[in-house]
Structure 1
Amino acid sequence: GGGGGGGDDEEPAPEPAPKPVAGWKGWQDRVAADPQFVYKVVIEQVIGVSASVVGDMASRPNWGLKELDFVFATLVVGSIVNFALMYLLAPVASASGAGAQLGLVQKVFGEHYLRAWAAPTGHMFEPGFALGARAVNFAYKGAVFAFIGMCAGLVGTATSNGLLELRKKMDPAFQPPNQPPSVLGNASCWALHMGVSSNARYQMLNGLDMVLQPLVPSSAFRVVTSVIRGLNNMIGGISFVMVAKALGVQKAAEPAPPPEPVGKGKKKKK
């Protein structure tokens, strides 16, 4: 049995690697950094978008039943915006190796520049920062939010307008109830809304998460954050309609004048 002589030189067996998370690398990195990430994305896409549409419809006359084309545009853009925000702004597990190179997208949407400017890398309420550093975080996140809103607004509005045009070609008798919103105008409105309203609500929501998560059990935290995120998106839907109406981006068609009563205008015989 001379085969056992080399046993002392053998390296110890490596520990089994953790079970990989399904999805592409960027998704896996985000799940590794935040185990609640998948749940938060599902909440944002299902409850969040639904609540946003409810808020959008509630702020329109007659619950938006005569402005369903505008509501549909909000649904499309809102779905893109919510996923983009959750994905691009989520924390990412650190790459192995100190010299790992970051791409431009990772630098802009990650922590690179905020860390270089000694500002909070997540939200403005992170402990241990001066007021000026918190203001830098708010301004930077606002610019990122506005950029995402502009891009999502361009894609989403063009998509919803294109679907309406496709329906008109398939059904020549169909006429949209309202003038389709300008792609550039609606996208600019989304950029303004995201940079100001959504940014402010994002900061407050994450600050509240920071306080509640260590104090509340995981199951209870999921319920609480679901309710809070639903209300947050409902408020977002209402605020977007207010901005769009104020800027004249979405104009509902004027109601048709009521028909004149029969015989009105005829001169009575003397």
Structure 2
Amino acid sequence: MTSILQHLAHLQGGHLPEFTPGSVWLAGAGPGDPAHLTLGVATALHLADVIVHDALVDDRVLALAAPGAVLEFAGKRGGKPSAQQADITSRLIELARQGRRVLRLKGGDPFIFGRGGEEVAALIAAGIPFRVLPGLTSGLAALALSGMPGTMRGVNQALVLATGHGADGEGAPDWAALARLDQPILIYMGMKNLPIIAAALMEGGMQADKPAAAIAWAGTDKQRRITATLATLADTAAQAGLEAPAILVIGDIAATDFRGL
């Protein structure tokens, strides 16, 4: 860790960003492997007094915390007992007011389906100083790690990020509108509602034989990828025993497989 800090200090002209007592840094841990951490997040792990982390932050990442740092679990997992968002936000404010250096560590990127915006808004309202450290969002990382280019000349001109949480409820994506775009869709938190999502996309005009894939546990030693079609993905995933967390990929890029060494 010392060599990482020295390298970052060199890049920044000899000084590290100041992690002041009483402040909160919201950081993205990326998907799994510590190799996907930014130097800034690695630095924050070394400097934080308290790390309030989500369920999907890899244990190998947490192992980079400074000796004596307190680790507080604040995971939210669909269908399982989870911390309430209001309680998490209140805890961040409480810890900051105690004069702690608080690292709010999330899997992926804190501002991509990570509720980071809600937490920043609460910190601002409470007058708590904060910094946001981007992370490699799990959707894009899952593509690269499983051999799918997010964009490819002659294949697609756009990429849509969508949430599958509450897929058929109020505030759900307009699946028919997304189907008409005919561009690849990356769906976060969509495993539970995959049959509903697939049916809605096909009802919106997307072809049943459109290439589709699911990538589970991207960036970890449990990573798995299955490939099917839009119409068969839900059954194929169920037969394979694939479970969340997973990224769903709907579109022509799902047919590619450029995995290297």
TM range (shorter): under 0.3
Higher strand share: 2
TM-score, structure 2 normalization: 0.23
Which structure is higher in RCO with an 8 Å CA cutoff and minimum separation 6?
1
